[in-house]
Amino acid sequence: MTAHPLTALQPASAAPPATSDLLSDVIAGLSSDPRALPCKYFYDERGAALFQKICELPEYYVTRTELDILSRHHAEIASQIGPNVELIGLGTGAGTKTRILIKALEKPAAYIPVDISEKQLRKSTAFFQKIFPKLEILPVCADYLQPVVLPSPRHKPARNVVYFPGSTIGNFEPNEALEFLRRIANVSGRGGGLLIGVDLQKDQNVIEAAYNDKDGVTAQFNLNLLEHINRETGANFDLSRWQHRAIYNSKAGRIEMYLISATDQTVRIQDQQFHFRAGEKILTERSYKHTPEGFIALAGQAGFDFAKFWTDDARLFGVFYFVIAT
């Protein structure tokens, strides 16, 4: 998956990602070797609801830990960011973490959430407009991996700060992560910043349990990707013939989530057919786990200066703040 994210900050509107994009991405992914499907298509309406359930599972430490870090350090984080900022949220979903952040900020100029899920974006925007009636909120429904032109707020902010929570940066290959961070640096601009959540390297058993929960919610989430593809493209994936599995690749430092064919089978998508052998895998997600030192170095290559790092007692997760010198 190649990232081509945000471009300049100019007035514009963005439409939801088209079905034709999904179709072309799916066909390209299933034609590749190894076969893969873009994880950005997890988040249809049911996928977003299932992910919310995952975030509440005892095994899934990621969201719980990041929320705890934000709750304990929100005042210090807001002090680092400063007043009168334009906050650009990438893939912030329901906005639970963002709400904590905005409440702590001093007179933010505007909030621009960018999300691929139109329904969730509308819902979260309506909620934020209710609880922050004086804040200008400019939602953009778009895939932030593609070129997106962002709207300009009415009032000129002191600086632009990009907020990228949830350790989504882990879904990028290292070279793609570097390119993505460079593009974020262009959006932040001189004097701007980046607040980002990063999952840290830890015991393999802890990581694998988070992606193979005993209640099978993550399995439902993974399989729902096929249901989403069926609905949008007319494909005929039989979900009963696919199994979920997530493994930690310690050499690469990443979790790998797969859909595994339980039988020999053929899947039709439009006028194309794809043959799968029993045991053949489709990669649906990679999630790299970083060391603090390694991620600081990566962001440095993208043009960011390290400012502050917050973590939990067990060092499961990190929230980093970076700036670009004026």
Residue 48: name the closest of 101, 95, 111, 110 by CA: 95
Pairing of strands 265-269, 272-276: antiparallel
Residue 15, pLDDT score:
45
Pairwise CA distance, residues 78 & 102, whole Å: 8
Pairwise CA distance, residues 155 & 132, whole Å: 16
Helices of type H across the chain: 19-31, 45-55, 61-81, 96-104, 118-131, 174-188, 204-211, 217-233, 292-301
Contact (CB, 8 A) for 249 and 208: no
Residue 19, pLDDT score:
58
Q: Which tokens in the block code for residue 194?
A: 């980046």
What share of residues in the chain are helix, strand, coil (percent, to 5)?
40, 25, 35
Contact (CB, 8 A) for 61 and 316: yes
Residue 197, pLDDT score:
98
Identify the bridge partners of residue 320 per DSSP, sorted by sequence position: 196, 309
Pairwise CA distance, residues 271 & 240, whole Å: 23
Could you give phi then psi for residue 145, rounded to 5 degrees?
-80, -15
Residue 144, pLDDT score:
87
Could you give all domains of the chain from N- to C-terminal order, each with its CATH number? 1-239+289-326 (3.40.50.150)
Query: Which DSSP string do the residues of 299-325 spell out, in sequence order?
Result: HHHTTPEEEEEEE-TT--EEEEEEE--
How far is Cα of residue 88 from the mean position of the Cα atoms in its chain? 14
Contact (CB, 8 A) for 100 and 126: no
Contact (CB, 8 A) for 279 and 261: yes
Residue 43: name the closest of 159, 136, 137, 166 by CA: 166
Residue listed under structure tokens 């004026």: 326
Q: Running along the chain, 326 residues long, what does each successive block of 10 average in pLDDT?
A: 35 46 94 94 91 94 96 98 97 91 97 89 94 96 86 94 95 94 94 98 97 97 98 97 97 97 97 97 97 98 97 97 89
